[in-house]
Structures are given as C-alpha cells and as structure tokens.
C-alpha cells in the first residue's frame, strides 16, 4: 500500500474522470494478491492496472539499471531533452507530431493516386466489368435467404412427388379390393348374415378410390413446377457466384458495387484529384516545416540551460573539469520534427568533446543519468523518485558525492534508494533492510525498518562484510554522523 499527498493537478483530473474521490487530499494505492487472483484499489475503489500505471507515472519516477543503458542509444536523447521542456514546449512537440501525421496522410494518398494513374486504363476496365456484372444481377438484400428457403421446398417436393406417383400406381394396378367385394356379394346371396362384411368391403373400395383421386389432386394442384425449380436454382447460382467474388452476403456485394463506382469516378477524374492532393501535400509540408522550426528553436534554447545544469550536476558528482554539450543535426521530416541530437562530453582537461555513448564507462553513465534525473525532477516537480542500484560502477569519493547529490534531490521530493554502498546508505533518513530466507521449501522476502543501533550494524557490515568489529562499527558511526551533519547544513 502506498499513500500520496500533495496530488498534482493532472492526477486530480484523472481521478475525477474515473469518479474517484481524493479524500483529505490523499491518494492511497493498494494491491491485494491471493493464490487465485489480485486486485488493485485507489482510495478503496477497484481500478484497472492500466489506470494505476498512468496515475503512478505522474507520482513516481523509477530509475533502474536499464535506465542507464538508454544513454547508449542516441535515439533516446531527443525525448530526454523534450522532457525538460515546459507546457509550451510540450504543445510544440505535440503540434509537430500532428502536422507530421497530416503530412504523411497526404503523401500516402498522393502516392496511391500516382500509382493508380499508371494503371488507370486497366483498373477502369476491371471496375466497369465489376459494376456491370453486379448491376445486371439487380440484387435485393435478403433475396438469397428467401430463395434458399423456397429451393428447399422445391427440392423436397421432387422427392415427395416421386413417392406419391408410386402410391397412385399401386392403387391403380391392384384389383384385390374389387375381387373381394365380388366374392362377398356372392356369399351374401346365400347367407344374408354376411351383408355386414359385404358393406365393409364396399366402404374400403370406395375409400381406396377416394385416396387415389386425392393423391392425383395433390400432385396436379401442388404450387411447384420443374420450371420454377430450374429458375430458383439458376438464380441462387448467380447470387452465390457474386458472393464468392465480392463478399459473404448480398450486403457485402452491394457495398463492393458502391466502392467500385466511387473508385471508377475517382479514376475518371484522377488528374484533378492528383492536382488537389499535390496542393494539399504542399500545404502540409509548409505547416510541418514551420512546426519543425518552432520546436527546433525551442529545443536549442532548452539545450543551453539543460547543458549548463548538466555541467553543474556532473561537477557535484566528481566530474572535475567536465564539459557537456548537445549538438544538433538535421534529419528528414519525422513525428518529432527534423532534429537529431547528440550528447557530447569531455571528462578530462584538454580533451575534445566526444559522443557520450562512445566514451563513457558504466560508472560514468550512472552519474550522467543521475544528473539527468535530478534536473528533470526539478523541472517536472516529481514527488517521488526510486533509484534502483544507482551505485553501479562507482566507489570511494565518487560514491560519497553521489550520496550528497541524492540528499540534495531529497530536499524537494521523496527519494527511495536501493544500494549496496555504505556511503549512499548512510545519507538516508530512514533505513529498511531487505533480506531473503528459505523455510519449508519456500523463499520469503523480508523488509524490516531499522532502529539506530541496527543502522550502525548494517553500515558496519557493508563496510567490512561479515567481519563486524569495533573498527568497522566506529567507522560506521563516523560515516553516519558525517552524513547527518551534511544534511543538517544542507537543509
């Protein structure tokens, strides 16, 4: 759980948009992790990880070991310089980005039309064929569904008709009922008691005759015909052929027709379209050129002040007689304008400035990045900075100077630092020991806040390893006292 006060205005706006209240001007971010799930809350309200990430970016700056590696990639230099700019500079950066998008859109459209113009006649012939083929079909949305339903009925009737005709033939060819009635009639003449059986035989004979007539009537009067079956079948074949070529449904086919008409009209008037787009590209180029110059001029002004502060910050980190400068090169139009910047540095008297990524060692890059972070923190009013092993590649006097620099940053914001160097650890106001232990085949991470005696013990261990003795304890006390004295004078 983390609690933040003095919330920046941009964070307040983000909270309002998410209907989250900042009670008493505080913002509490908490996360609960169980075996099955995890949940994140802001002021007791469940939120998404993406929202927390966006909000945290305005509250905390994290400097990990990978951050220093960014200085080895010159493509990051421009964004670092832009980060130093104020709101007006940010607007200029955004403006040049929007102008570039408009420029690229116009250029891409012009390229498309120029390419289309080369194949104009062939494309128009094809589009005319598509238009004629679809229009000739006179499609109606939903027509295919009705035809398919009717086709199923017609297809079924052909089978039904076949069985009905066979049934009628059976009745026509069978004289057994007639013979039955004749025999019972003769028997009745000799025994009147058989009259009831005779009557039943006559009834069956009449029913057989009626059944034969009804079967014939069903076949003759059915609302189907082989001609209709052929017509529906051909129409479905035509529609399915178009759907196979131009879409999965009649709606898709008709949409393809409209697109083909629009494309045909465009190609018919392509020369005028190209002229209009050329003017649009020309106008977009002018806007982009002006926006690029605006942001470039702003960057060059920023660079002067940024380099001055970098030289001051580096001097505080044991870069004696260090010279730092930013050189500008012009590049083709891009989303960031036409500027390409190179960080140049000289760490020794008499040496010419050379590219930072080519000459700086790991320890030097760590100090350069610390200087950058301290300058940006002051410019952006960052409330919390986390430094993860900022001490990589440094020791001795340089480590002490880095510790003092961190103390200076801590005057204006909260600094959380993970370190293995006693010089840096001794400068802290609060100390936490992070350790790991294994128990029952599981590993646990422990975080413990140290009291005054424990602080001295840990500093002693950092100074002398596991061999803690009176000398290392005395050195740890002296180091801590000197650090406290420096901070008292600083604040």
If we measure between CA atoms, which residue out of 337, 295, 303, 334 comes closest to residue 92? Answer: 295
Is the separation of the CB atoms in 202 and 177 below 8 Å?
no
- Tell me if 54 is assigned to some domain: yes
- Tell me if 4 is assigned to some domain: yes
Name the residue with tokens 């001007």.
25
pLDDT of residue 280: 94
Per-residue exposure over 303-332, b if at least 16 CB sit within 10 Å of its own CB, e if not:
beebbebbbebbebbbbeebbbebeeeeee
In what helix (H) or strand (E) does residue 466 lie, and over which residues does it extend? Answer: none
- Tell me if 357 is assigned to some domain: no
All residue ranges of the chain with pLDDT < 70 are 65, 158, 173-178, 221-224, 380-381
- Tell me if 25 is assigned to some domain: yes
Supply 51's token pair.
């929202």
Largest Cα–Cα distance of the chain, in whole Å?
A: 150
- Tell me if 217 is assigned to some domain: no
Is the separation of the CB atoms in 261 and 131 below 8 Å?
yes
CA distance 17 to 95: 25
pLDDT of residue 6: 78
Contacts 24+ apart (CB under 8 A), 20-27: 20/45, 20/47, 27/3, 27/55, 27/59
How much is the pTM?
0.61
pLDDT of residue 53: 86
Please give the tally of structural domains in the chain.
Answer: 1
- Tell me if 51 is assigned to some domain: yes
- Tell me if 150 is assigned to some domain: no
If we measure between CA atoms, which residue out of 226, 207, 218, 208 comes closest to residue 165? Answer: 218
**Coil, strand, or helix at residue 434?**
strand
Its domain, for residue 43, covers: 1-60
**Coil, strand, or helix at residue 357?**
helix
Task: Please state whether 192 falls in left (phi above 0), alpha (psi between -120 and 50) or beta.
Answer: alpha
Other beta carbons within 10 angstroms of residue 402's beta carbon come to: 28
- Tell me if 5 is assigned to some domain: yes
């Amino acid at each position: 759980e983390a609690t933040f006060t003095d919330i920046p205005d941009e964070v307040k706006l983000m909270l309002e948009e998410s209907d989250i209240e900042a009670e008493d001007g505080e913002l509490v971010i908490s996360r609960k992790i169980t075996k099955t799930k995890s949940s994140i809350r802001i002021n007791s309200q469940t939120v998404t990880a993406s929202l927390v990430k966006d909000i945290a970016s305005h509250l905390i700056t994290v400097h990990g070991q990978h951050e220093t590696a960014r200085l080895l990639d010159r493509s990051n230099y421009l964004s670092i310089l832009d980060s130093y700019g104020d709101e007006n500079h940010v607007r200029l950066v955004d403006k040049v980005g929007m102008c570039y998008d408009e420029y690229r859109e116009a250029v891409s459209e012009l390229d498309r039309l120029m390419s289309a113009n080369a194949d104009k006649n062939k494309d128009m012939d094809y589009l005319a064929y598509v238009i004629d083929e679809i229009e000739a079909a006179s499609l109606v949305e939903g027509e295919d569904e009705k035809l398919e339903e009717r086709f199923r009925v017609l297809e079924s009737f052909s089978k039904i008709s076949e069985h009905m005709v066979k049934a009628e033939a059976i009745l026509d060819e069978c004289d057994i009922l007639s013979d039955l009635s004749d025999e019972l009639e003769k028997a009745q003449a000799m025994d009147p008691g058989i009259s009831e059986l005779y009557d039943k035989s006559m009834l069956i004979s009449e029913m057989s005759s009626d059944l034969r007539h009804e079967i014939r009537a069903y076949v003759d009067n059915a609302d189907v015909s082989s001609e209709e079956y052929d017509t529906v079948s051909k129409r479905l074949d035509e529609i399915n052929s178009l759907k196979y070529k131009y879409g999965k449904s009649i709606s898709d086919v008709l949409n393809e027709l409209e697109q083909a008409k629009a494309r045909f009209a465009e190609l018919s008037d392509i020369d005028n379209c190209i002229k209009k787009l050329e003017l649009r590209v020309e106008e977009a180029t002018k806007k982009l050129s002006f926006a690029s110059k605006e942001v470039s001029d702003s960057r060059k002004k920023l660079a002067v002040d940024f380099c001055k502060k970098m030289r001051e910050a580096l001097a505080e980190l044991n870069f004696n007689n260090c010279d730092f400068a930013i050189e500008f090169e012009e590049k083709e139009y891009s989303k960031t304008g036409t500027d390409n910047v190179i960080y140049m540095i000289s760490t020794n008297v008499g040496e010419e400035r050379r590219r930072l990524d080519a000459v700086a060692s790991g320890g030097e890059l760590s100090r350069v990045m610390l200087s950058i972070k301290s300058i940006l923190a002051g410019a952006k009013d960052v409330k919390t900075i986390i430094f993860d092993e900022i001490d990589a590649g440094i020791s001795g006097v340089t480590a002490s100077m880095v510790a003092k620099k961190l103390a200076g940053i801590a005057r204006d914001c909260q600094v959380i630092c993970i370190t293995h160097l006693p010089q840096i650890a001794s400068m802290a106001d609060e100390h936490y020991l992070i350790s790991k232990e294994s128990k029952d085949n599981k590993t646990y991470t422990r975080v413990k806040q140290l009291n005054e005696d424990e602080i001295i013990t840990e500093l002693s261990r950092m100074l002398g390893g596991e061999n803690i003795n009176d000398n290392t304890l005395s050195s740890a006390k002296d180091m801590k006292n000197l650090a406290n004295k420096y901070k008292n004078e600083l604040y």
